[in-house]
Structure 1
Amino acid sequence: MDVTIHASFLPHNDPDASLAFYRDTLGFEVRDDVGYDGMRWITVGPVDQPGTSIVLEPPVTDPGVTDDERRTIDGMMAKGAYACVLLATPDLDATFERVRAAGSGEVVQEPTEQPYGVRDCAFLDPAGNMIRIQQTETR
């Protein structure tokens, strides 16, 4: 079986702020930016990984979701408990400083050695998505 990750979806509630975070702060390229009916889907990804993308999407576009469910999702997004993505970099300290200096992501955890064997840090993006960044092994 040959299966790869093509795209993951993260909600946004401010497309311009999310675009600035992923493009300007993390350095991802914009692969698509589609508007429809007052909503916007933005596809971004690492320049050197054209087959892997993150789609920043309006939260809860499914018409079957109730108003109560929408409020629950809004509340979970606001406290960083709705969506998460795990990224990796060979220079965690420089990446952490770049994101912190940009001020577009809220620091949740500074670079830390975890008891389960990885060194990582964490931010909330402008929509409240948890962005964890791990140190990759350098050889």
Structure 2
Amino acid sequence: MNINIHATFLPHTDPEASLAFYRDVLGFEVRNDVGYEAMRWITVGPANQPDTSIVLTPPAVDPGLTDDERRVIGELIAKGSYASIVFATDDLDGLFARVEASAAEVLQEPMAQDWGTRDFAFRDPAGNTVRVQQL
């Protein structure tokens, strides 16, 4: 039996800013772009991994959420503590230069970690924490 990661979801607070970042800065391809009323779901992913996608989604759209729950989710997103993702690359310094040039908020410059990996961290346009490890 094989189990693969097919899709993961990250909230966006500005679909155009998130699309530009994931497409233009990280180089992901756009696989789907679906709108409904004032909401928009954008599916992106690395070109060399066609079966793995990230869905950039409007936050807190579940109809079962209360207004208070939506407010809390918005606060967590703004603080960068609602969602995160970890990527890996064979060119950590090159990707860091692209992310830094994009004016993304850098949380940690490339460094060797005690557990043996070298990585850096930043926040995407919605505030999600993104870590990138050296392959």
TM-score normalised to the size of structure 1? 0.95
TM alignment of 1:101-120, pairs within 5 A: 101-103=101-103, 105-120=104-119
- 1:126 equivalenced with 2:88 (yes/no): no
Find runs of 4+ consecutive structure 1 residues off by over 4 angstroms.
none
Partners in 2 of 1:79 and 1:122 — Cα distance?
15
Q: Distance in 2 between matches of 1:38 and 1:71?
A: 18
Residue ranges of structure 1 left out of the alignment (5+ in a row) = none
* Deviates most, 38-47 or 67-76: 67-76
Count of residue correspondences: 135
CA distances 1:43-92 after superposition (whole Å, capped 9, x unpaired): 00001110000000000111111111111111111111000010010010
- Secondary structure of 2:24 counterpart: helix
Q: Aligned partners of 1:118, 1:6: CA distance in 2, in Å?
A: 25
Q: Over aligned residues, Cα RMSD in angstroms?
A: 0.7
Equivalent pairs: percent with the same residue? 65
Aligned to 1:78: 78
User: Structure 2: which amino acid aligns with 1:60?
Assistant: A
Distance in 2 (alpha carbons) for counterparts of 1:34 and 1:62? 16
Q: What amino acid sits opposite 2:32 in the alignment?
A: D
- Whole-Å Cα distance in 1 between the matches of residues 102 and 38 of structure 2? 28
Counterpart in the other structure of 1:59: 59
Query: How does 1:87-98 map onto structure 2 within 5 Å?
Result: 87-98=87-98
3-state DSSP of counterpart to 2:16: helix
The one-letter amino acid of 2:44's match is V
Query: Which stretches in structure 2 are left out of the alignment for 5+ residues?
Result: none
